[in-house]
Amino acid sequence: MEEAPPRAERRSRWMVTALTVWAVLIVGVCVRGLVQPQAHNCYLEYYEQAGRNWFEGRELYQIVGGTCRYSPLVNAFFAPLSLTPLAVGSLLWRLVNAGAFLGALLWWMRACAPTTWSPTLRAVLLLAVIPLSVGNINSGQANPLLLGLLLATTAAAASERWNLAAAFCAGACLLKLYPVALALLLMGAYPRRFAPRFLLALAAGLLLPFVLQHPDYVARQYSNWWANLLTDDRTQGSLVDLAYRDLWLLIRNMHLPISHSVYVFIQLASAGLIGATCLAGRWLSGWKPAETANAAFHLGVCWMTLCGPATEAATYMLVAPTLAWAVLQSWHRSCSVWTQGLLLASAAVFWAALLGCLSSHTAVWTACGFHPLGALLLFIALGAEYVGRLSAPEPVVHEERASRAKAA
Confirm if 54 and 72 have CB atoms less than 8 A apart.
yes
**Domain assignment of residue 20, yes or no:** no
In the three-class reduction of DSSP (H, G, I as helix; E, B as strand; rest coil), residue 104 is classed as helix
pLDDT of residue 232: 78
pLDDT of residue 404: 43
Q: Is residue 1 part of a domain?
A: no
Dihedral (CA of 45, 51, 56, 58) sign: positive
DSSP annotation of 177: S
**pLDDT given for residue 384 in this prediction:** 92
* φ, ψ for residue 65, nearest 5 deg: 90, -170
Instruction: Quickly count: other Cβ atoms within 10 Å of residue 140's Cβ.
Output: 24
CB 109 within 8 A of CB 129: no
Contact 196, 188 (CB under 8 A): no
Identify whether 14 is part of a domain.
no
Region of 176 please: left (phi>0), alpha (psi -120 to 50) or beta. Answer: beta
Our separate counts of H helices and E strands in the chain read: 20, 0
CA pair distance 290, 288, nearest whole angstrom: 5
For CA atoms 136, 378, 110, 22, the dihedral sign is: negative
**Strand ranges (DSSP E) for 198-327?**
none
For residue 288, what are the CA distances in angstroms to 158, 183, 282? 8, 18, 7
Q: How many residues does the chain have?
A: 408
Give me the pLDDT at residue 64, please.
58
In a domain, 9, yes or no: no
Q: Mean pLDDT in each 10-residue stretch from start to end of the chain (408 residues)? A: 50 87 96 90 90 91 69 93 92 96 96 88 95 94 97 97 98 95 97 97 97 95 88 83 91 94 96 96 93 97 94 95 94 82 96 86 89 97 92 51 45
pTM of the model: 0.92
- Rounded to 10 degrees, the C-alpha dihedral 238/240/242/247 comes to 90
Q: Given this model, what pLDDT does residue 394 score?
A: 54
Q: What residues make up the domain containing 270?
A: 26-407
Gap between the Cα atoms of 323 and 375, Å rounded: 9
In a domain, 399, yes or no: yes
Residue 164 lies in a domain: yes
Burial-class residue 297 by CB neighbours within 10 Å (0-12, 13-18, 19+). Answer: buried
How many Cβ atoms from other residues are within 10 Å of residue 198's Cβ? 26
Predicted pLDDT of residue 40: 86
Q: Are 342 and 381 in contact (CB under 8 A)?
A: yes
- Into how many domains does the chain fold? 1
Would 16 be classed as within a structural domain? no
Asked if residue 131 belongs to a domain, the reply is yes
